[in-house]
Amino acid sequence: MLSYYLKQIRKEFKITQEELSAKSGIGLRLLEKLNCKTSMRMDKVNQVLALFGAKLKAMPKQKNYD
């Protein structure tokens, strides 16, 4: 989901991964690996998202009432 969000927001802002890397201070290799990484530091994710006025936050799980 995060990689999809970043791809869509990059398109909206017309910014490449290389530009995002430079502006956020996050390495290009880390940005490229977002699709396959199973864990990341929230501060690093928020560092990238801050450029777009967004942030990652904890949310309660939705209960499944099936």
CATH architecture of 2-52: Orthogonal Bundle (1.10)
Q: What pLDDT is recorded for position 22? A: 92
DSSP secondary structure string, 1-66?
A: -HHHHHHHHHHHHT--HHHHHHHHT--HHHHHGGGT-S---HHHHHHHHGGGT------PPPP---
pLDDT in tens, 1-56: 778 888 888 899 999 989 999 998 888 888 887 766 667 788 888 898 898 899 88
Q: What is the pTM of this model?
A: 0.62
